[in-house]
Structures are given as C-alpha cells and as structure tokens.
C-alpha cells in the first residue's frame, strides 16, 4: 500500500517470505488435520513475525499497531486464515495485560508468549452471551487472597492448546463496571477444555469451549482493579476489529489474484475465459472493491496510529471489508467453476474462511449499531 512506510513494507515482505517458506508447503495437510504444529509459534518468534507490535522490553518486535496489521497482509497468501488466526491469538490475548497489568504481570505473562513457548487466548464469549459482551456470567468470587472462577466460555481461538487464557469475568452485579480480567493458566485445578469445535472455515485454528469449575486463581493473576475490565475490553476490540478488517481486504486481494491468473489460463469455447467480457467486468468490479476496502482500512489504521480513537470508522472499516471479502470470494469461486469448489484451491478455502468476518469480533449488526450511534441516531 503506498502509504505504508519502509519498515511496514519490509515487515510485510518478511511475513510473506515466512508464509511461502514455512506455511505454504504444508498448508493443505494442516487444514485437513485441523491444526498446525506448535513449533510454528517458535519458528514465527525466531523469524520475528509472531509478536511484532509488543514492546521489545517484553520480548516483542517493538513495532506499532500497523506492523501487526500488515502482518495479516503478508501471511494471508498462505491460503489458511486458520493458521493466521491461530498464530495471531496473542494479538487479542495480550493487550489486556499491556493495558491493565502491573510491571510484574507484564514480565511474567508476555515474554514466554512472544518467544513462542506459550500459547495465549482471549475468552470473552460464553454459551449464553456473545454480542452482549457485558452480559458475561462467568463469576470470579473473592475468597481470602484468591478468587474462585466458575462458568464457561465458547468459541475461543487457540483455546484447546492455550497455556494461558485472558478471561473476562463478573466480579459484581453492575453490568459494565462489574467486569474484571484474570489470567487463568493451564493446569489450574478445575480449568478444562470441554470440547474442540468443528467449523465452516478456519480449520487449522483450534476453537474451544472452556470450563471453569471453581478454579482457584491467586489475586496476582487479576489484571487491574476489580471492575476495570469493560474499558480495557472496548480498547481491545478496536485492535481486533481493525485486524479483522485487514483480514477482509487481504483475503479478497489473494482470491482476486488467483481469479485473474485462472481466467487467463482456463479456456472455454476456444478462448481463455478472460476473453469473455462478463469475466473481465467481474474482475474489474472485484479489483475496485478490493482497492476501496484496502484504502479505507489503511486510512483508518493510519489515523488510529496517529492517536485518534475512531470507534465509528473502525466499525465501518470492519463491515465494509467483511462484505467485500464475501462478494469477491463468491465471484472468485464462480470464475474457478468446479475447481473453486475443491479444497485444493485457495479460493475454496478462503471463501469458507471469509464467512467468519461478519460474525467474529462483533457482528455486522452490532457494528451498524455502533455506526448509527456515531451518526447520532
């Protein structure tokens, strides 16, 4: 993208190289297996593509928020959003530690994840509440110096193999100011993975339901004061939603590239299918939509990076890119014909993966509610 400076462009290229060398040769196998090897976290850490936006003092790459966004652009050509999302779960799990944690907690919970030694996940959604995030019922009850956590969480990315989970709990009845984050660690008594979920897409990313059966957690694992969770959650959502917006235009860009190449190779009625005006016009419209989504996303990201708090625009970017991804993936599959329905093609995999975009991180309907509020409605 023209407005990305050299460090972002260089970083996007290193991520692309990582995708080409370390992911693409195995991607179909990992998709079918429903997971990628744990060692990939270590390799990504060694190659500097795991924790780009975390400060160096905590083991990250010391980049800014745009580095983690262009990372998605660099990795997505691997053709598995599941790998990108699985490797990226620290991007939503660690910000609450960065925002609310003490120095001691940051030193304890962040560096092992940045080194790829521990996997981190974020657990907000519950079987009984998703869009209404402040409706969480997983309870943390104070008991001496500890808290006892009971409840369950659903759809947790990297939840099956997470070593530490940033969990949103209820510490008082007040809807918004009764929410508090804790770090729950693998091995704590009463904490377990109830099941791994089978999904439409994101096959290589594990997605879990988690159970908390009176898990005793020391107060040293509480992030911030009691009741500080909601504000940190809202801040975290901004990063997550921009990340999903970038996933949208990056997905659309990859399938567009494949569709253009295929339209030149594939012949019907004695000519390449790109020779039919209907195909060319389809591709022209797809390319226009990709450019519009990418331009909007980069513009919002740049302004956020400059210090603006853009809740409305971030929701617009997420919705627009999610919609563009659906439309461009649909047409790419159509251009591929039968091959677009076969798992060996990127367009097939990415078109399934893209269906998550209007759902995850806040649905399109919830984004529209936020946008309407921003319009004073």
Residues designated catalytic? 240
Binding mask 319-358 for ligand FAD (x = CB under 6 A): -------------------------------------x--
The minimum distance between CB 11 and ligand FAD, in angstroms, equals 24
Cα–Cα distance measured from residue 211 to residue 138, given in angstroms and rounded to the nearest whole number = 10
Stretch that binds ligand FAD, among 13-21, 152-160, 187-195, 335-343 (CB under 6 A): 152-160
Position 202 contacts ligand FAD (CB under 6 A): yes
The minimum distance between CB 50 and ligand FAD, in angstroms, equals 17
- Angle formed at CA 367 by CA 363 and CA 371, multiple of 5 degrees: 170
Cα–Cα distance measured from residue 66 to residue 361, given in angstroms and rounded to the nearest whole number = 18
Stretch that binds ligand FAD, among 227-235, 288-296, 301-309, 363-371 (CB under 6 A): 363-371
- Position with the least CB separation from ligand FAD: 130
Stretch that binds ligand FAD, among 43-51, 248-256, 296-304, 364-372 (CB under 6 A): 364-372
Position 194 contacts ligand FAD (CB under 6 A): no
Q: Which is nearer to ligand FAD, 212 or 336 (CB)?
A: 212
Position 196 contacts ligand FAD (CB under 6 A): no
Member of 157, 169, 228, 238 binding ligand FAD (CB under 6 A): 157
Position 234 contacts ligand FAD (CB under 6 A): no
Torsion, Cα 124 130 135 137, to 10 degrees, reads: -60
Cα–Cα distance measured from residue 82 to residue 251, given in angstroms and rounded to the nearest whole number = 12
Position 236 contacts ligand FAD (CB under 6 A): no
The minimum distance between CB 137 and ligand FAD, in angstroms, equals 13
Query: Using CB under 6 A, which residues numbered 122 to 151 contact ligand FAD?
Result: 122-125, 130-131
The minimum distance between CB 355 and ligand FAD, in angstroms, equals 9
Position 156 contacts ligand FAD (CB under 6 A): yes
Stretch that binds ligand FAD, among 46-54, 140-148, 155-163, 306-314 (CB under 6 A): 155-163
Position 359 contacts ligand FAD (CB under 6 A): yes
Cα–Cα distance measured from residue 13 to residue 40, given in angstroms and rounded to the nearest whole number = 18
The minimum distance between CB 6 and ligand FAD, in angstroms, equals 32
Member of 30, 76, 362, 371 binding ligand FAD (CB under 6 A): 362
Position 94 contacts ligand FAD (CB under 6 A): no
Q: Which is nearer to ligand FAD, 80 or 207 (CB)?
A: 207
The minimum distance between CB 166 and ligand FAD, in angstroms, equals 9
* CA 148 remoteness from chain centre: 29
Residues touching ligand FAD, count (CB under 6 A): 21
Position 207 contacts ligand FAD (CB under 6 A): yes
Tell me which residue of 353, 202, 336, 356 sits closest to 256, measured CA to CA: 336
Which residues make up the interface to ligand FAD (CB under 6 A)?
122-125, 130-131, 155-157, 199, 202, 207, 356, 359-363, 365-366, 369
């Amino acid at each position: 993208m023209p407005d990305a400076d050299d460090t972002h462009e260089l970083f996007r290229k290193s991520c692309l190289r990582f995708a080409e060398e370390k992911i693409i040769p195995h991607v179909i196998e990992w998709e079918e297996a429903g997971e990628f090897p744990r060692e990939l976290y270590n390799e990504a850490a060694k190659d500097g593509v795991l924790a780009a936006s975390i400060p160096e003092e905590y083991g990250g790459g010391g980049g800014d928020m745009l580095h983690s966004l262009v990372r998605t652009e660099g990795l997505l050509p691997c053709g598995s959003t599941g790998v990108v999302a699985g490797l990226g779960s620290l991007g939503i799990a660690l910000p609450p530690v960065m925002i609310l944690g003490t120095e001691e907690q940051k030193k304890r919970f962040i560096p092992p994840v940045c080194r790829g030694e521990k996997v981190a996940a974020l657990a907000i959604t519950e079987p009984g509440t998703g869009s209404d995030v402040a409706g969480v019922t997983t309870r943390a009850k104070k008991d001496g110096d500890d808290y006892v956590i009971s409840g369950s969480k659903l759809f947790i990315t990297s939840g099956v193999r997470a070593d530490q989970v940033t969990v949103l709990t209820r510490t008082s009845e007040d809807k918004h100011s009764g929410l508090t984050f804790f770090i729950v660690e693998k091995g704590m008594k009463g904490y377990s993975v109830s099941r791994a979920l089978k999904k439409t897409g994101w096959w290589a990313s594990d997605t879990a339901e988690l159970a908390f059966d009176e898990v005793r957690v020391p107060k040293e694992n509480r992030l911030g004061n009691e009741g500080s969770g909601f504000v940190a959650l809202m801040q975290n959502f901004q990063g997550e939603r921009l990340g999903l917006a970038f996933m949208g235009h990056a997905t659309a860009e990859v399938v567009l590239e494949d569709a253009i190449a295929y339209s030149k190779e594939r012949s019907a009625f004695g000519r390449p299918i790109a020779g039919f005006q209907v195909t060319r016009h389809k591709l022209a419209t797809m390319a226009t939509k990709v450019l519009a989504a990418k331009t909007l996303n980069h513009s919002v990201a740049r302004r956020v990076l400059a210090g603006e708090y853009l809740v409305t625009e971030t929701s617009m970017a997420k919705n627009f890119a999610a919609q563009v991804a659906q439309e461009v993936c649909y047409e790419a599959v159509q251009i591929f014909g039968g091959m677009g329905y076969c798992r060996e093609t990127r367009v097939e995999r990415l078109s399934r993966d893209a269906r998550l975009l209007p759902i995850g991180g806040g649905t399109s309907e919830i984004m529209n509610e936020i946008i309407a509020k921003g319009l004073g409605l």
